[in-house]
Amino acid sequence: MTTFAAPPASPLLTARDDAGLPARFARSAQTTRGVHLKTEDFAAWLAARGRANVFKVEKIPFDELDGWSFEDGTGNLVHRSGRFFTVEGMRVTSDSGPYREWHQPIIKQPEVGILGILVKEFDGVLHCLMQAKMEPGNRNLLQLSPTVQATRSNYTKVHQGADVKYIEYFLRPELGRVLTDVLQSEHGSWFFHKSNRNMIVEAHGDVPLHDDFCWLTFGQISELLHQDNVVNMDSRTVLSTVPMGPEGPRHFAADGTFDWAVDGSFAAALDRARTPDAGALHSDTELLSWFTAQRSAPDVHAERIPLAGLPDWTRNERRISHDQGRFFDVVAVKVEAGSREVARWTQPLIEPVGTGVCAFLARSIEGVLHVLVNARVEGGFLDTVELSPTVQCTPGNHDGLPEADRPPFLDLVLGAEPARVRYEAVHSEEGGRFLNAEARYLVVEVLDGEPGAELDPPEGFRWVTPGQLASLVRHGHYVNVQARTLLACLNAMGGGRNA
């Protein structure tokens, strides 16, 4: 019998993973009273930050854009610096689905931005440094953003504006400790191959607190995620990368003790789904094999083409629109924002036609919560397919289609009884590039034996646990931004009682 001696202690080796990190995040998720700002005072604080600055957004004709123009020949909408982004055309062909070929405008932004949350312990509890940030596309303009939300053009000051506050913590490793760091995709229907770096960094030493910033626990942010249009998309995608352990946020009875029965079996199933040894309908290897097959199967081709003469789209002096009045428009805006690095500017934005719906169907399988994901094709994805919510669409875009061509499960979600809706909030999409882009985010419970609860769902769908999704989010381009929002919302469900 061969035996192996324990390796000698080495200053060169370190643990491959921080086993205590999920518990630290969980403690913060259970803490709903922070050291800096009470959750019940947040709305007043955000309103005060809004009053402290001048914010104004106005639609303008394209010829009033400053520094932007339609390029000769291609007709692409470009900036004179050659930086920031361009609006171009895209042609997509597919061998499946109701639309086998389509053309559309698309945003090409090759720069990788940084979406970063700085964290620090106060009284033994991690707090997040969050920012009240104005984005011209947000319907209510001011929302809660990460500490840093900046493109490379922003933090290298191509626009000759002010410095991006706290950017040094995400560019200089010696100032902190990286807790999560992953390159994630953006909206594949509106961006072409766009990625951002999602980071959480723990600061070393004291951190100055600037205007428009506040410290909040993960538990406080979880409470705010239940409100409409408060936590912006960039915050949600970073929050989805948090390795949440089984400790929280948990579901508590009125006396503050944990109660498996609160909110019926759904709460218990959700809590068990956070436990690594809880099991799943499909093993991680089976899930990855299925996803790899889904990614390999579709014959999808997406290519950038000139914006000029794009089939089915018409440009006038104020907008580029689809001839059927569906999908989205490309518009121009003039922006005034006293708290931004540049106080005034103009830019193009994509303005969707209608409010979107993004929903997970969820069910308990032998006491463990699973959600139904879809291997979704989007023309702008780097790898063509990513895991999306069960339903992700703007319902009006599918009016008049035969039932077989309508998105699967859409009518089930839209007709869900209120008691089955376990989570619901309206959230804004990326306010820096999209105007009034909102979606109704839902988690809808289905029970065994009901439509939508079948263990063998239609082609392209799979039941997974939130824990499996969280594992995939540690790697780029597996889970799309809408599903990452819903994962952050699932992590926010429940609530702690720690003071």
Q: Measure the CA–CA gap between 344 and 337, rounded to whole angstroms.
A: 6
Q: According to the 3-state scheme, what is the secondary structure of the chain?
A: CCCCCCCCCCCCCCCCCCCCHHHHHHHHHCECECCCCEHHHHHHHHHHHHHCCCEEEEEECHHHCCCEEECCCCCCEEECCCCCCEEEEEEEECCCCCCCEEEEEEEECCCCEEEEEEEEEECCEEEEEEEEEECCCCCCCEEEECCEEECHHHHCCCCCCCCCCCCHHHHCHHHEEEEEEEEEECCCCCEECCEEEEEEEEECCCCCCCCCEEEEEHHHHHHHCCCCCCECHHHHHHHCCCCCCCCCCCCECCCCCECCCCCHHHHHHHHHHCCHHHCCCCCHHHHHHHHHHHHHCCCCEEEEECCCCCCCEEECCCEEEECCCCCEEEEEEEEEECCCCCCEEEEEEEEECCCEEEEEEEEEECCEEEEEEEEEECCCCCCCEEEECCEEECHHHHCCCCHHHCCCCHHHHHCCCHHHEEEEEEEECCCCCECCCEEEEEEEECCCCCCCCCCCCCCCEEEECHHHHHHHHCCCCCECHHHHHHHHHHHHCCCCCEC
Residue 276: the pLDDT is: 76
Task: Let me know: does 343 contact 134? Beta carbons within 8 Å.
Answer: no
Tokens (6 digits) for 391: 């339903």
Sign of the torsion formed by the C-alpha atoms of 195, 201, 206 and 212: positive
Strands 86-93 and 213-217 come out as: unpaired
Q: According to the 3-state scheme, what is the secondary structure of 27-65?
A: HHHCECECCCCEHHHHHHHHHHHHHCCCEEEEEECHHHC
Residue 440: the pLDDT is: 98
Q: With b meaning 16 or more CB within 10 Å and e meaning fewer, what string describes 79-118?
A: beeebbbbbbbbbbebeeeeeeebbbbbbbbebebbbbbb
Task: Let me know: does 463 contact 265? Beta carbons within 8 Å.
Answer: no
pLDDT tens series, the chain, 499 aa: 566 566 666 679 989 989 899 999 999 999 999 999 999 999 999 999 999 988 899 999 999 999 999 999 999 999 998 888 999 999 999 887 677 899 999 999 998 999 999 999 999 999 999 999 999 999 999 999 999 998 877 776 666 667 899 999 999 988 999 999 999 999 999 999 999 999 999 999 999 999 999 999 999 999 999 999 999 999 999 999 998 765 555 444 444 444 433 444 788 899 889 887 889 999 999 999 999 999 998 788 999 999 999 999 999 999 999 999 999 999 999 998 876 667 889 999 999 999 999 999 999 999 999 999 999 999 999 988 999 999 999 999 988 888 888 999 999 999 999 999 999 999 999 999 999 999 999 999 999 999 999 999 999 999 999 999 999 999 999 999 999 999 999 999 854 334 4
Task: Let me know: does 73 contact 140? Beta carbons within 8 Å.
Answer: no
CB atoms within 10 A of CB 194: 26
Token look-up 């218990």 returns 268
Q: With b meaning 16 or more CB within 10 Å and e meaning fewer, what string describes 277-294?
A: ebebbbeeeebeeebeeb
Q: Measure the CA–CA gap between 38 and 32, rounded to whole angstroms.
A: 8
Task: Let me know: does 238 contact 491? Beta carbons within 8 Å.
Answer: no
Length of the chain: 499
Q: Measure the CA–CA gap between 382 and 193, rounded to whole angstroms.
A: 5
Residue 251: the pLDDT is: 47
